């Protein structure tokens, strides 16, 4: 039996607008408070996910995977993100979730889909696909916190056909939401997402856990593409966008618009300011981590290749601001 709370409210609000609900994917070193605010300023999804958080690290600061700023919520954020937890020890999930509840968080997500080698080596992410017996205890422990519990996964580890056993196993956990990245671990993002299995996933959900909401992830670039996909697959509840925000920070925009270079560069200025604010609270992430974002704003098709190359050689946010000043004042 699924307890309907957090996710059903989000889904029902979207249904009033005759659309699926939208979320921004959990992405390591990306979906922290800084970038969540940037995307919210551009065009916000219905809900954000946090970066990956090691479940044990929430209550044990001595772990080799410290939480650092992953749980920091800026006062300007309007909603708490869903915290995605990884690991394989049930007690860590229960203790971590209870601590999150005390901090004001409303929902947690169990990571069974991360393909990162370090995460797998430490018994998290897609390690759980190969060790499905661990899921039952983890989910039970997570539910004991009273927070909304969801799961994010992939179709399988090595073979696409693994989803026929793996997805039913997850559906039998009767969580509020199941998010499926439509690739296997081994496929990473090197092949097109397997949209051909969506209807089969919906059928499984309807037969095993009809109250569980189903969200998909993979190769969905923007809001309109998500709406169109949901229309083609009745029964699909949610759409998660990850890498799409790197191609278009306005990916969640309901009515697509043209965004000139200056608008994009001003969005970068916002990120620089938010980054500096965040750095006053935590020593991570450091300036080099910002460089991966420059390609979002200084786009080649808008004539900004040289600008991006110059920013990549910068050593500080102030230096980037000076480069932007010189470029925009020409």
- By annotation, the residues acting in catalysis are 114
* Pair 109, 67: CB distance under 8 Å: no
Q: What angle do CA 106, 244, 263 make, to 5 degrees?
A: 100
Provide long-range contacts, Cβ within 8 A and 24+ apart, for 1-5: 1/174, 1/211, 2/174, 2/175, 2/176, 2/209, 2/211, 2/212, 3/176, 4/176, 4/211, 5/148, 5/176
* Pair 44, 7: CB distance under 8 Å: no
* Pair 290, 296: CB distance under 8 Å: no
Q: Quick one: residue 303, left, alpha or beta (phi over 0 = left, psi -120 to 50 = alpha)?
A: left
Closest CA to 54 of 127, 103, 102, 125: 125
């Amino acid at each position: 039996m699924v307890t309907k709370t957090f996710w059903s409210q989000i889904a029902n609000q979207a249904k009033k607008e005759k659309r699926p609900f939208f979320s921004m994917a959990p992405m390591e070193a990306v979906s922290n408070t800084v970038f969540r605010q940037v995307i919210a300023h551009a065009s916000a999804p219905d809900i954000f996910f946090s970066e990956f958080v090691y479940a044990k690290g929430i209550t044990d600061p001595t772990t080799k995977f410290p939480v650092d700023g992953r749980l920091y919520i800026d006062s300007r954020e309007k909603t708490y993100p869903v915290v995605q937890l990884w690991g394989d020890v049930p007690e860590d999930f229960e203790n971590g979730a209870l601590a999150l509840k005390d901090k004001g968080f409303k929902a947690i997500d169990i990571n069974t889909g991360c393909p990162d080698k370090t995460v797998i080596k430490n018994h998290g992410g897609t390690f759980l696909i190969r060790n499905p017996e661990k899921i039952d205890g983890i989910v039970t422990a997570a539910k004991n916190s009273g927070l909304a519990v969801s799961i994010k996964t992939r179709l399988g580890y090595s073979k696409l056909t693994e989803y026929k056993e793996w997805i039913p196993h997850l559906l039998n956990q009767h969580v509020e939401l199941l998010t499926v990245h439509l690739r296997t671990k081994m496929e990473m993002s090197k092949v097109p997402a397997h949209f051909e299995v969506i209807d089969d996933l919906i059928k499984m959900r309807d037969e095993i856990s009809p109250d569980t909401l189903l969200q998909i992830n993979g190769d969905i670039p923007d809001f309109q593409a998500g709406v169109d996909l949901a229309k083609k697959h009745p029964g699909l509840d949610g759409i998660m966008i990850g890498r799409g925000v790197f191609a278009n920070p306005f990916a969640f925009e309901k009515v697509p618009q043209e965004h000139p270079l200056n608008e994009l560069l001003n969005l970068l200025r916002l990120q620089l300011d938010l980054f500096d604010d965040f750095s006053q609270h935590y020593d991570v992430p450091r300036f080099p981590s910002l460089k991966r974002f420059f390609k979002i704003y200084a786009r080649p098709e808008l004539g900004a290749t040289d600008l991006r190359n110059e920013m990549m050689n910068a050593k500080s946010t102030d230096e980037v601001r000076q480069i932007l000043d010189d470029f925009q004042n020409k």
